Amino acid sequence: MSKLLVKERDVVVPGEDIVEGMDYLPSKGTYREGDKIVASQLGLVRIDGKVIKVIPLSGKYAPKRGDTVIGKVIDVLMSGWRIDIDSAYSAMLGLKEATSSFIARGADLTKYYDIGEYIAVNITNVTSQKLIDVSMRGPGLRKLEGGCFIEVNTSKVPRIIGKQGSMISMIKQATDCRVIVGQNGIVWISGTPEMEAIAIDVIKKIAKEAHIPGLTDTIQTYLDKKVPKKKIVEPKAEEQEKKPEVKDTEEKKETPSKEEKK
pLDDT in tens, 140-193: 999 999 999 999 988 889 999 999 999 999 999 999 999 999 999 999 999 999
Q: Does residue 126 belong to any structural domain of this protein? A: yes
Cα 214 to Cα 128: distance, rounded to the nearest angstrom? 40
Q: Is the pTM of this model over 0.85?
A: no
For residue 43, name the pLDDT band (cuts at 50, 70, 90): confident
More confidently predicted of 248 and 118: 118
Q: Does residue 234 belong to any structural domain of this protein? A: no
- For 34, 46, 102, the CA distances from 49, given in Å and listed in that order, are 21, 10, 30
Same domain, 172 and 111: no
In terms of residue numbers, what domain contains 140? 68-144
pLDDT digits (tens, 9 = 90+) for 73-103: 999 999 999 999 998 889 999 999 998 888 8
Whether 252 has a pLDDT exceeding 80, the answer reads no
Same domain, 99 and 168: no
Same domain, 40 and 92: no
| Number of folded domains that form the chain | 3
State what percent of residues in the chain have pLDDT above 90.
Answer: 66
Q: What is the CATH number of the domain that holds 155?
A: 3.30.1370.10
Q: Does residue 30 belong to any structural domain of this protein? A: yes
Beta bridge partners of 3: 20
Whether 63 has a pLDDT exceeding 50, the answer reads yes
- Mean pLDDT (whole number) for 39-47: 89
Per-residue pLDDT, 18: 97
Judging by beta carbons within 10 Å of its beta carbon (0-12, 13-18, 19+), is residue 18 exposed, middle or buried?
buried
Q: What is the CATH number of the domain that holds 30?
A: 2.40.50.100
